[in-house]
Structure 1
């Protein structure tokens, strides 16, 4: 892995939080992701399932975690199963986790080769009444591919039909949404790498540059700073491309007078950052562009102040909608009649700002978090308002990542990344 080793105490704490929420006499199992085929002997790069990584730090395929806190023998209470490695595998595929190295990474003492999994599981199941299955219940999930976890759950239910079934996801949705300080530090590192990339392209961008050339500059800067690369598919949208919310073609020339909307960020150690900025191709905003830009920035700043303990996600978005409505009235994009006659299910501001303002972030860019539960300290959110005006040929989105504090305004993990229009102009013309 490119990243520095994470302190195993993080994973020890995470497992303790999970097992404390388990029912008596129960077992939970977590599987790594598959390596997905492309064609012939080609595969996609391996990406570890975030749940097993969160609980172990094991960033390797064909890994299984078993947790059984009430097992009568200590060595059965937490077990990490790994594919057995040898010199031949090391020559062809590179270094894999040894038992000693796996303990060092995860803090788990009992490391067992994968070939013995079914035998060990059988013994553990004789001590348990309930089995926790790890289903994907994220509110944005739309998975059509059967995963390694899916196949395991199917096999497990057929093998042990007399056991009760519980779900791991509700536990994970809560404990993963409230970050430990070590996690915040990792997200901060991802944000710092993102800052390096953004500052790099401020000096690179000019009329005639192509969107994919900017993408290349960013990935270069990210990887040279120990990131695997982009935390999600990069959006580098010049001109009217910015009005396509998930524009990922990145294949157009950046023209004088246009704006470029960036929604692009680095990962670090599997933790995401999530940045949006909008810059002028020619290094200067027009007055109209700057007016809209400052309106979006004002919404972002005011919305950030609302992310405090006890806030409900749904009510927060209603209030942000009021702030955005006021800005759109000031810009002349809406008038009072638009607001008075609006459909409450789709307020007038949605014509120019049609997506949400904030989402949880962490190991996943759209991270775990139960939206009906009040916000808590150490939750990490994006703040990303935008105004999109196809008729004027540009769209603007600004986004930072913030940590909810016990009191006062959230801490901005991207506070060092340029965002004021005047600062961006100065840096682009330095």
Structure 2
């Protein structure tokens, strides 16, 4: 596997200029309360470049005219600590995972940085400086940037995030295999849900059934908090309470995914709690399905990402106008109020541009929806789709989604 991570570092280094220095941090789990911490979530850019899933590690790359010097800093194994919190990676294990020969302990990082800056006359340092929110908490890279500028004001700090975003947007065969495995586990989890889905079952039981199924299959866990929204809560895009019993005659909207080897699946299905759709539910459901098929048909290299949502909106508008729910296009936003697609990969909402032409190797979600609050109906259908040289391939093709398929499965046929 380390050839994949070695290749990723080489692709990143190709965007560096001679003399550039890059630093990446694995991150750490924040404190929750007392002496407890939240579960550690690996910085996905660090994982993309190293394959390591441990806290506190640091990666550095220095590019000169002829080569790239790569160093991985790891925690020093200490039995007195390990017997409380678990084993640390040895140098040999870190080397085997990452493909990096030059391994140091974290205690050497600051002194090595000082000497490196002095000896190599470093003028530019690239850091993963991603801010999605003005008030977002500072990451290790933000704090390091301040420290560098305080000590070495002549050094220019640049963000490496756009480079990594561009690289991660195009998946290679190894990544596609991991996503396909995550999708397969997600299908199994949905199959398990359908076996217990009936009136008076609680939403959290669907949530628990899914988590149990994918973990038993070998998944890392869920790729994001499971949404099991029935009845009136189906119109809430990120409903995660999953707290109430489901009613006969209602729909339940499921948005969920397994994570496998750090790669995510993201699938949505909408099922009738009682096993059969009403005629009204069927009409609205088929409107969503028609829009999804139109978007999938449009996916091919060269098609503009931003035009996918236009295809979706046009299809939904025509369907809703035909049944008399709306008359004008501007009314559509009352019933459809999100985009139809995002990139998928190491993150559920993966890095990548949401403008410009589609390219082979991109993995996208296609998730149209309709949310009719006055009728307590929320419907979303989501597939994971690979852009290929010829067009596209639906990675989640085996998960039942037509009215007829769903009702047949739920009736035991």
User: 1-side partners of 2:263 and 2:347: how far apart?
Assistant: 7
Query: Is structure 2 residue 184 aligned with structure 1 residue 204?
Result: no
**Residue 326 in structure 1 maps to residue 318 in structure 2:** yes
- Superposed displacement of residue 120, structure 1: 1.7
Report the equivalent of 2:3: 9
Task: Report SS of the residue matched to 2:222.
Answer: coil
The verdict on how the C-alpha distance between 1:312 and 1:125 changes in structure 2, with shifts beyond 3 A counting, is farther
Mapped to 2, the partners of 1:273 and 1:219 lie a distance apart of: 13
Asked if residue 25 in structure 1 is aligned to residue 7 in structure 2, the reply is: no
Question: What RMSD over aligned residues (CA atoms) do the two structures have, in Å?
Answer: 1.5
Do 1:26 and 1:130's aligned partners in 2 also have CA atoms closer than 8 Å? yes
| 1:295 corresponds to | 287
Which structure 1 residue ranges, 5 or more long, are not aligned? 1-6, 340-346
2:28 is matched with 34
Task: Say whether 1:246 aligns with 2:228.
Answer: no
Given candidates 109, 116, 129, the residue that maps to 2:101 is 109
What is the CA–CA distance in structure 2 between the aligned matches of 1:214 and 1:199, rounded to whole Å?
11
Return the alpha-carbon distance in structure 1 between the equivalents of residues 159 and 343 of structure 2. Answer: 21
CA deviation after TM superposition for structure 1 residue 372, in Å: 2.9
Residue 124 of structure 1: how far off its partner (Å): 2.7
Aligned with residue 225 of structure 1, among 217, 221, 224: 217
Distance in 1 between the 2:394 and 2:114 partners? 48
Correspondence for 1:425: 407
Q: Which residue of 1 aligns with 2:374?
A: 391
Q: 1:187 to 1:319 in 2, by over 3 A?
A: same
Structure-to-structure mapping, 1:24-423, within 5 angstroms: 24-70=18-64, 77-126=69-118, 127=120, 128-137=122-131, 141=133, 144-335=136-327, 338-339=328-329, 347-408=330-391, 410-423=392-405
- SS of the aligned residue for 2:271 comes to strand
Once the two structures are TM-superposed, the CA of residue 153 in structure 1 deviates from its matched residue by 1.9
TM-score (norm 1): 0.92
Cα distance in structure 2, aligned partners of 1:376 and 1:55: 22
CA deviation vs aligned residue, 1:8-63 (integer Å, no higher than 9, x gap): 11111111110001122101100012211111011111111011001001100010
Are the aligned partners of 1:12 and 1:55 in contact in 2 as well (CA < 8 Å)? Answer: yes
Corresponding residue SS for 1:68:
strand
Q: CA deviation at 1:172?
A: 0.8
Deviation by residue 1:50-109 (Cα, 9 ceiling, x = unmatched):
11001001100010010112188x7x7111101111322332222221110011101111
Q: In the alignment, is the contact (CA less than 8 A) between 1:377 and 1:404 conserved in 2?
A: yes
Q: Distance in 1 between matches of 2:340 and 2:298?
A: 11
Contact 1:71 1:124 survives alignment (8 Å): no
For residue 320 of structure 1, report the CA deviation from its aligned partner: 2.2
**How far apart are residue 325 of structure 1 and its match?**
1.0
Report deviation, 1:143: 5.5
- 8 Å contact kept, 1:176–1:368: yes
Whether contact under 8 Å (2:294, 2:311) holds in the other structure is no
- Measured in 2, the distance between the counterparts of 1:177 and 1:377 equals 10
Cα offset, 1:253, TM superposition = 0.8
Contact 2:148 2:155 survives alignment (8 Å):
no
**Contact persistence 1:276–1:400 (CA under 8 A):** yes
Give the distance between the partners of 1:327 and 1:97, measured in 2 at CA: 57
TM-score (norm 2): 0.96
**3-state secondary structure, aligned to 1:77:** strand
Checking the alignment, whether the CA contact within 8 Å between 2:203 and 2:242 is kept in structure 1 is yes
CA drift at 1:421: 1.3
Larger deviation, residues 33-42 vs 313-322: 313-322
How far did residue 201 of structure 1 move?
Answer: 0.5
Q: Shift of the alpha carbon at 1:137?
A: 4.6
* Structure 1 residue 223 displacement after superposition: 1.1
SS in 2 for 1:187: helix
Give the secondary structure class of the aligned counterpart of 2:254.
Answer: strand
* Equivalent residues of 1:33, 1:149 under 8 A apart: no
Indicate if the aligned counterparts of 1:299 and 1:324 stay in contact, CA closer than 8 A: yes
- SS in structure 2 of the partner of residue 132 of structure 1: strand
